[in-house]
Homo-oligomer: A and B are copies of this chain.
Amino acid sequence: MISYIARIKVTLKELVNDPQGLAVEDGLKTLGFEEISNVRVGKFIEINLNAPNEEMAREQLNEMCKKLLSNIVIENYEFELEQNST
């Protein structure tokens, strides 16, 4: 088994309303940051994963994202996989 670190970004699809992003945008503007727009808030998930090879690690991660980590109706996900050196 090889040990990997996966870094997963889960973001709302472009056409989906993002009330949390709007709240953050309002907050930033109130603090004086006027030159911002289109703030979107998503999730960033790190997972340590053991798998026989990179292909199987990617396969498992896709399954995890589809089954639990994201809601594929309204969210997109992408991940980076890195071999764990520690």
Interface of A is mostly: strand
Interface size class of A (residues with CB under 8 A): 20 to 34
Copy count, this protein chain = 2
Contact A64 B28 (CB under 8 A): yes
Contact A1 B35 (CB under 8 A): yes
Contact B1 A46 (CB under 8 A): no
- A24-B69, A28-B64, A67-B31 given; A36·B47 CB < 8 A: yes
Tell me whether A53 is interfacial, beta carbon within 8 Å: no
Contact A40 B46 (CB under 8 A): yes
Chain A residues in the interface with B (C-beta under 8 A):
1, 9-11, 21, 24, 27-28, 31, 33, 35-51, 60, 63-64, 67-69
